[in-house]
Amino acid sequence: MGLSQVSLRDIPFLSLKDIGDRQVPLIPLWDGARWTLWLRPDDGQLLETHPVDVATSLYWAKNEARETDIYFPFSDFVWQHVSWPDVARAAAAIEGRLENLCTAVAKIDFFWQHRGNDLLDVAEFVATEIEYISVIARSVLDDLQKVMAGIWDRIELLDSEAQRRKRSLPPDSMAKMTLKGEVVRPAEELTKTYGLPAVVAEFYAASGSLLQKVRRLRNGVIHQGTSNGPIFVVEKGFAIGREQPLFKTFPEIWLKEHAYNENVYSLRPLIAHVAVNALHTCTLAAHALAKSLAFPPEVAPGYRVFIRAPHSSALLKAQAVLEGANPWWEP
C-alpha cells in the first residue's frame, strides 16, 4: 500500500476557504472505485492511504458504497455546515447511538432465530432489549438538544431586533425545551421565550409527543424499575397484548395488519417506531434549521456523508416496516 504525504488543503474534494474553527472529519472517501483514508502521524502531515475496504465508519461519497450503508441527513448537515467543536462532539455521540440502535434491533432478530433453544428464555431477552432501545432513543434526543443549543449559540441573526430577542436554549435536555411538566409547549411560546424562527419552534412542538412517550418508557425502566413485559412468542414473531403499557403508550401506530388476533399485536412496528423516529427527529431538526437560518458553505461540495455500521441492515428493515413492509418476523 503506497503512502504519500499531503496537507489538509491538498485534499481536492474539500473546500476549506470559509472553514473557520469548524472541525474537518478525516473520514474515508469512496470515489466509486476505491477507498482513500488520510492518517495523521505525529509530525502533522497527512498520510494518504488506500485501504481495501471499510468495516465501520462515516465516509464521504456521492453514492453509498454498499446498499446497507445509511444516509443520515442529520450527519451530512452537521459535517458539511456546522461542525464546531461542541456541536461535533454531540453529533458524534448521536452517530454512536445510531450504531447501538442498529445492534439492538439486530439482537431482537437474532433472538427470533434462536427461539427454539429450550435453555434460553428469548422473550425475556427481547423485553430487556426494548428497555435498552428506549434508553438509547431518549439519549439521542438529549444529544440532539446539545447540537441545537450549540448551533443556536453560534448563529448571529441578520435582523437586529430578532438578535436582541434571541436567548440561549437549554443545553442538555430535550424535555426542558419541549415540555412543561407533561404538556408539550406550543411553538408560539418557544418563539416568544427564545426568539426561535417559526420553523424551528414548530419542529420542537411537533417533536414533543415522541419525547413524552420515549421518556415514559425510559423513566419506567430507570427510575421505577417497571417491566414492559410480558413478550409473547407466537408463530409469526414477538408480540405484545393490547392492555400492556408498550401498546397503550403508542396508540397511533397500530394497524390491522399488525394484529395476531384481537388481543395480541406484533412488537416489530413499535421497535421500528421508537428506534427509527428518534433518529428521524434529528433529520427533521436539520431540515428546520436549514430552512430558516443561513450557515457556512459545504466542506465537501457534491459529496454526502454515509454511515457504515455492522448491523445497519437491521435498522433498514425496521424502517421498511414503517413504510409498509411485513410487520412480522415470519410471512
52 falls within a domain: yes
**Residue 137 counted as domain residue:** yes
Same-domain pairing of 147 and 20: no
The last residue of a domain, from among 65, 92, 116:
65
Could you tell me which of 196, 190, 191 has the C-alpha nearest to residue 155?
196
Both 159 and 243 in one domain: the answer is yes
Element (H, E) at 210: helix 198-219
Instruction: Using alpha carbons, select from 279, 205, 224, 214 the residue that is nearest to residue 250.
Output: 214
How, if at all, do strands 29-30 and 70-71 pair?
unpaired
Domain boundary among 39, 65, 91: 65
**Which of 65, 86, 116 delimits the end of a domain?**
65
Could you tell me the pTM of the whole model?
0.93
Angstrom distance (rounded) from CA 100 to CA 123: 20
Domain that holds residue 9: 1-65
Q: Are residues 183 and 318 in the same domain?
A: yes
- CA 115, chain centre distance (Å): 29
Whole-number Å distance between alpha carbons of 217 and 208: 15
Dist. CA 262–CA 300, nearest whole Å: 52
54 plus 175 within the same structural domain = no
Instruction: Please indicate, yes or no, whether residues 188 and 268 belong to a single structural domain of this protein.
Output: yes
Residues 141 and 61 in one domain: no
Work out whether the CA dihedral 214, 215, 216, 221 comes out positive or negative: positive
Which helix (H) or strand (E) covers residue 36, if one does?
Answer: strand 35-39
Cell of 320: 421498511
Q: Encode the chain (331 residues) as per-residue pLDDT tens digits.
A: 344 456 788 888 999 888 999 999 889 999 999 999 998 776 667 888 999 999 999 999 999 999 999 999 999 999 999 999 999 999 999 999 999 999 999 999 999 999 988 778 899 999 889 989 999 999 999 999 999 999 999 998 888 888 999 999 999 899 999 999 889 999 999 999 999 999 999 999 999 999 999 988 866 554 444 555 689 999 999 999 999 888 988 999 999 999 999 999 999 999 999 999 999 999 999 999 999 999 999 999 999 999 999 999 999 999 999 999 999 999 8
Residues 84 and 5 in one domain: no
- The number of folded domains in the chain is 2
Are residue 78 and residue 51 in the same domain, yes or no?
no
- Grid coordinates of 263: 388481543
Q: Are residues 45 and 136 in the same domain?
A: no
Dihedral sign (CA 90, 92, 98, 100)? negative
Considering the domain boundaries, does residue 330 fall inside one?
no
Distance between CA atoms of residues 143 and 131, nearest Å:
19
Q: Are residues 78 and 199 in the same domain?
A: yes
Distance of CA 319 to CAs 76, 271, 316, Å? 19, 10, 5
Distance CA 89, CA 73 (A): 17
